[in-house]
Structure 1
Amino acid sequence: MRILTVGAGAAGGYFGALLARAGQDVTFLVRPGRAAALSARGLRVSGQGEEFVLEPRLVTADTLSGGYDLVLLSVKSTALAAAAHDLAPAVGPGTTIVPLLNGMAHLDSLGARFGERAVLGGVAKVVTTLDDDGDILRMAPPRALLVGETGPASEAPSARVREIRAALNGAGITSPDVEDIVAAMWHKWVFITTLAAVTCLMRGSVGEVNAAPGGEELGRAVLAEAAAVSAAAGYPVPEAERAATAATVTAAGSPLTPSMYRDLQGGRPTEVEHVFGDLIARARALSVPVPLLELATTHLRVHQRRVTKE
C-alpha cells in the first residue's frame, strides 16, 4: 500500500515510523516548520527499549498529489478542518482514511467531506509525546491500532481491513480483529475522558491525585459517569475493560498524564469541545446526569477562552 500519514506528531509519527521501518511505502504530510525540523534531525523515536532514526519521506500541502491507498489521520481535533482540506488531493476513489482521533464527531465531518465509504473507524492505543527537540518519546508499553468498518457488523472483516491490519501487525503494531469498532471507539472515549477529567480538574498526574484524600473516589465517580453515557448510547463498557480503566486512574504513584493535561499545563488549546463538549451533549440528549464531566468541561472551556484570546 501507498500510505500517507497526516501529521508526524507523537501518535501519527510513531505509527508511521514503525510502518516505514518495516518497509511500507510511507509519506508524511507535515507543515513547513515540521518538515524543516525532520529534514534536519530525521524522525527520531526512543523509549521503552527502542531507539531508531529514519529519514522520512515528506510532503507539504502545496506539493501533495494523489494516488494513496491509505491515509492515517492523526491530528488534534482543533486542526481537523485544516487537515481535511490539506489531504484532499491525496484522496481518490480507492483511498481509505483511518482517523486516529478520540471521540466520535470526526466520523461525521470526514464522512461528509470524503464520503462515508472512505472512512474507517480507528482507535489508537499508545502513550507517546514529543520532547523539546520534536523527537518522539514512547512512555508506556501499548502500541495498538484498532481498525474496522463503521457500518453494520459482518461475520468477517472486509478485504481492506484485513490488508491494513496485516501491514500494521507486520510493523509490530498490534491490530487484532475487532467485532465492533464503533463500540471500541466509545470505550476509548470513556477511558480518555475519565483520565483527562481527573488530571485536568486536579492539575496533577494520576499518582498525585490518588495521593490526596478523595482522589481515588473521584476517579471512580468520573468513570461511572462516562460509562453511563456509553451504555445509554448502546455501547456498555465490558466489565474487564471498565476494571482496567479504574485500575489505571486509581493507580498509586502513577506518573501518567494524558495529552490534554499536558496541553493545559503548557498553556495551549485543548480538544475540549471534541472530547468533552460532544460527550456531555450526548449525555444530555440521553438524559444521563454527568455533573463531574460538566465541571471538567467548564474548567477546560475557561482555559480555552483564555488561551485563544492571547
Structure 2
Amino acid sequence: MITALCVALGSMEFPACATLTNGGRFVKVLIVGAGATGGYFGLRLAQAGRDVTFLVRPKRAAALRERGLRLVGLGHEEVVTPQLVTAAELDTQYDVVLLSVKATGLSQAMDDLAPAIGPTTVIVPFLNGMAHLDLLNERFGKEAVLGGVVKVVTSLNADGDIVQSAPLATFELGEQEGGTSARTKELTALLDVPGYEFAVNHAIVPAMWHKWVFIASVGAVTCLMGGTVGEVVAAGGSSFSRAVVAEAAAVSAAAGFPVPDVTPIETAVTQAGSSLTSSLYRDMTAGHSTEGEQILGDLVDRALRHDLATPLLNAARLRLRVHEQQRA
C-alpha cells in the first residue's frame, strides 16, 4: 500500500516514502545527460519520488527550466520539473551516477562528473560499445563501475522533448565480474520503478557485447545501404544483412562472448517492411556527428587483433569516416 502511494505521490509529498528510498546507502542519483535516453529513465525515477539531479550543459538547462522535462508520444504527454546542475555548479558527491552521453562526449563527461564521485559512488554507464568501460575503470577504479544495458526507443524533437515511439524500455545492470552483490540488491530498491523493466543481470558484460553486436549490425546495414531495414530487404539485401550479423557475432565470439542465438538479430535486419534504422543512420542522415568509431571502428579494430576479416563492417566504418570528413 505504501509503495503504491509512493509511486503515485512521490517521496516529497508522502513522508513514509522516505523510508523506502532513503533506507539504503544509495539515495542521491546524478544523471549525466538529459537527452533521449538519460532523460527518459531520469523522468521515470523522478516520477517515482527518487532524488534525481541532471548534470547538463547550460543551454540544455535553460530549455529544461523553461519547458520542464517532457515525454511525449504513444498518445500521452508527461512532464516533470527536474533538478538541474551544470558542470560549473557541481560540488556535491552522489551515491549513484547514471552516465548517459554519446561515446564521443565521454572524455568531457568524465571531467565534468568527477566532483560527484565519492569513495562509495557507483557509476552505471548507458553508453554503446565496450571501450567506455575500460576508460571509466581507469579513471574512477573498476570497483566503482558497474556494467549497464538500456533499451528504449526515444528521440529528441525540435523543442527538446523526449519522443517515445515504441513501448520498449528496459534497464539492466550488474557487477563486471558477474554474480550477485549486496549493492546490486540495494540498487534494485532504488532503481526498479514503474515505466521500464528493471533487472540485475548476473552476466552483464556478455549482455553488453551482445547489444553491441545488434547495434553494430543494424548500424552497418542501414548506413552502408542508405535506408531502413525494410528498404534494404526490398532491394534484395537480406543475404548481405545476414553477412553483416555474422561478422559482428564472430568478433564477439573471438573476444570470449559468443552470441547464444543470432536468429533474433538476423530477423531484425531482414524483416520485410521494417522501418528499423539506427542512431548511426539517423545521425548521418541528419548531418550530425556519429558514434561510428566507437560502435563500428572499435569492433573492426578488435577483429584485427583476432585476425578476423570484417570487410562489410570495415566498409560501413569507412562510410561514416567519409561522412565526418564531409561535415568538417
TM-score tier after normalising by the smaller chain length: over 0.9
**Does 2:77 align with 1:57?**
no
Q: Hey, what does 1:246 align to over in structure 2?
A: 266
Q: Hey, what does 1:110 align to over in structure 2?
A: 136
* Corresponding residue to 2:156 among 119, 123, 130: 130
What is the CA-CA distance between 1:295 and the residue it aligns to?
0.5
What is the CA-CA distance between 1:306 and the residue it aligns to?
2.3
**Does 2:175 align with 1:149?**
yes
Q: Hey, what does 2:220 align to over in structure 1?
A: 197
Letter in 1 for 2:283: D
1:87-142 Cα shifts (integer Å, max 9, x gaps): 11111001100010111110111111111111111111111100111110111222
DSSP-derived class of the 1:33 partner = helix
Q: Distance in 1 between matches of 2:194 and 2:123?
A: 19
* Corresponding residue to 1:10 among 36, 39, 45: 36
Identical columns (%): 57
What is the CA-CA distance between 1:249 and the residue it aligns to?
1.2
* Corresponding residue to 1:160 among 183, 190, 193: 183
Q: Hey, what does 1:256 align to over in structure 2?
A: 276
1:133-161 Cα shifts (integer Å, max 9, x gaps): 1110111222111101112x33xx21221
Q: Hey, what does 1:220 align to over in structure 2?
A: 242
Q: Distance in 2 between matches of 1:165 and 1:37?
A: 31
> Which shows bigger deviation, 28-37 or 169-178?
169-178
DSSP-derived class of the 1:199 partner = helix
Q: Distance in 1 between matches of 2:138 and 2:186?
A: 25
TM-score (norm. length: structure 2): 0.89
What is the CA-CA distance between 1:207 and the residue it aligns to?
1.4
CA contact (8 A) 1:147 1:165 kept: no
* Corresponding residue to 2:286 among 260, 266, 282: 266
Q: Distance in 2 between matches of 1:184 and 1:50?
A: 31
Classify 1:163/1:173 alpha carbon distance in 2 versus 1 (closer, same or farther; 3 Å). farther
What is the CA-CA distance between 1:34 and the residue it aligns to?
0.4
Letter in 1 for 2:136: L
DSSP-derived class of the 1:23 partner = coil
Q: Hey, what does 2:126 align to over in structure 1?
A: 100
CA contact (8 A) 1:190 1:230 kept: yes
Q: Hey, what does 1:298 align to over in structure 2?
A: 318
What is the CA-CA distance between 1:166 and the residue it aligns to?
3.1
Q: Distance in 2 between matches of 1:27 and 1:192?
A: 29
What is the CA-CA distance between 1:66 and the residue it aligns to?
2.1
TM-score (norm. length: structure 1): 0.94
Letter in 2 for 1:278: D
**Does 2:213 align with 1:176?**
no
Q: Distance in 2 between matches of 1:183 and 1:70?
A: 23
Q: Hey, what does 2:145 align to over in structure 1?
A: 119
1:44-67 Cα shifts (integer Å, max 9, x gaps): 102235420111111101111222
What is the CA-CA distance between 1:165 and the residue it aligns to?
2.7
CA contact (8 A) 2:65 2:81 kept: yes
Classify 1:254/1:117 alpha carbon distance in 2 versus 1 (closer, same or farther; 3 Å). same
* Corresponding residue to 2:62 among 36, 43, 50: 36
> Which shows bigger deviation, 86-95 or 245-254?
245-254
Q: Distance in 2 between matches of 1:76 and 1:177?
A: 23
CA contact (8 A) 1:26 1:57 kept: yes
What is the CA-CA distance between 1:252 and the residue it aligns to?
1.5
CA contact (8 A) 1:66 1:92 kept: no
1:215-272 Cα shifts (integer Å, max 9, x gaps): 2112111001101111111111111xx2211111111111122111111001111111
1:278-298 Cα shifts (integer Å, max 9, x gaps): 111110111121110010011
Unaligned segments of structure 1, at least 5 residues: none
Q: Hey, what does 1:237 align to over in structure 2?
A: 259
Letter in 1 for 2:227: G
Q: Distance in 2 between matches of 1:164 and 1:237?
A: 27
CA contact (8 A) 2:44 2:193 kept: no
DSSP-derived class of the 1:145 partner = strand
Q: Distance in 2 between matches of 1:21 and 1:104?
A: 31
Unaligned segments of structure 2, at least 5 residues: 1-26
**Number of residue pairs matched by the alignment:** 302
Q: Distance in 1 between matches of 2:38 and 2:170?
A: 12
> Which shows bigger deviation, 95-104 or 252-261?
252-261
